[in-house]
Structure 1
Amino acid sequence: METNAQLSPRVAGSPAMLMAGMVREYTMGKIEGIPAQWQEFNRSADMIADPVGAVAYGICTHEDGKEGHFLYHTAMEVSGPSQLPAGFEFLSLPARVYAVFSHDGHVSGIAPLIQRIFSEWLPASDFRHGSFPDMIERYDQRFDPATATGVTEIWIPIES
């Protein structure tokens, strides 16, 4: 999706999911460490027991009282709690309804798309931003981690 493309999401429900992954704290606008976090995650992801499929997720959450900061989780869904690789932890996501946007291109185009979603699409929609998580990036077989290009889905929790 080009950054000047029409914002036309689909609405999809998602069941509750248990994720296993790494988490790091970032400040808005200072996200340079995320590619290194993905590299570190990818080196250990095959040690995650009981993964559900081969989809990777970048999940943004925040902590109350930490304005301008967010937590970024690099994760995979797992079928249940099990032994985790060193430096990994669990994150439980509730069942939610999401607006799902598609980005086709290099990962560097994701941040401008997210900016447009929150500044253009969400205020003009009939929805409000839902609570936890703040946003999910979904990387499936259409994405090539070696080139950092392909299709990435951006899932924004929504409420009526």
Structure 2
Amino acid sequence: MNPKITTLLEKKLIGCKQNMNYAAYNPVPLWQSFMPVKREITNAVSTDLFSLQQFSAGFWEQFNPNTNFEKWAAVEVSDFDTIPANMDSLVIPAGSYAVFDYKGDGSDAATFFEAIFTDWIPNSDYVVDDRPHFEILGEKYKKGDPNSEEEIWIPVRLK
């Protein structure tokens, strides 16, 4: 597990959001509602999809799988001049991120994330920061395919 540490510039997103928790985690309905209407977003800057989690402050310090957070299905946009009906806007603030490359069909994603939070972070020079976490599903992402690739972005700051 060897992430790259990068500084993210502020990003603007438009998409759909839903409250959920890890005890009953099911993002499928969110994505099913977003994908048919994403074409209504006229100012997307790329075809990349953002699967984003916005947690309350301290979420990871006292982790409870029943604590709700906001889950987003979104795209990056150039501005918020036009926001389609039934969608929302979100700004990802600038800051440092640990970026992990993930390859696989998603069946071992929980194990991969667990390794980030229980192994890599405690043994690194970083702590998790209170900013959105997200995955970028780019052109190499293929849902359910063992050769699928995505980037996992975890907000960090020095200890």
TM bucket normalised to smaller: 0.7 to 0.9
Which residue does 1:15 correspond to in 2? 9
CA RMSD of aligned residues (A): 1.8
Shift of 1:79: 0.2
Across the two proteins, how many residue pairs are aligned to each other?
Answer: 151
**Counterparts of 1:19-58 in structure 2 under 5 Å?**
19-32=13-26, 34-58=27-51
1:56 partner letter: L
Moved more, 90-99 or 35-44: 35-44
What amino acid is the match of 1:154? I
The separation in 2 between residues aligned to 1:142 and 1:89, in whole angstroms, is 26
Which structure is higher in strand share? 1
Contact 1:8 1:101 in 2 (8 A): yes
Q: Distance in 2 between matches of 1:115 and 1:71?
A: 20
Structure in which a larger fraction of residues adopt helix:
1
Partners of 2:128 and 2:100 in 1: how far apart?
A: 14
Q: What is the CA-CA distance between 1:30 and the residue it aligns to?
A: 1.2
TM-aligned CA distance change 1:60 to 1:114, over 3 Å: same
Change (3 A) 1:86 1:65: farther
| CA deviation map 1:63-112 (0-9, x unaligned) | 35986111101110000013222321000111111111111111333222
Q: Does the Cα contact within 8 Å between 1:15 and 1:96 map onto a contact in 2?
A: yes
Q: How does 1:56-71 map to 2 (within 5 A)?
A: 56-63=49-56, 68-71=67-70
Q: C-alpha separation between the residues in 1 aligned to 2:101 and 2:58?
A: 31
CA 1:141/1:29 → structure 2, altered by over 3 Å: closer, same or farther? same
TM-score, with structure 2 as normaliser: 0.87
- Whether 1:152 and 2:150 are equivalent positions in the alignment is yes
Any idea what SS the aligned residue of 2:79 has?
coil
Structure 1: segments with no counterpart, 5+ residues: 1-6
- The amino acid that maps onto 1:28 is Y
- What's the TM-score once normalised by structure 1's chain length? 0.86
Q: Deviations over 1:111-141 (max 9, x none)?
A: 22112111111011111111211x1111000
Equivalent pair of 2:44/2:75 in contact (CA under 8 Å): yes
Question: Equivalent residue for 1:125?
Answer: 124
Offset at 1:19? Answer: 0.3
CA distance in 2, matches of 1:65, 1:136: 17
Q: Which residue of 1 aligns with 2:106?
A: 107
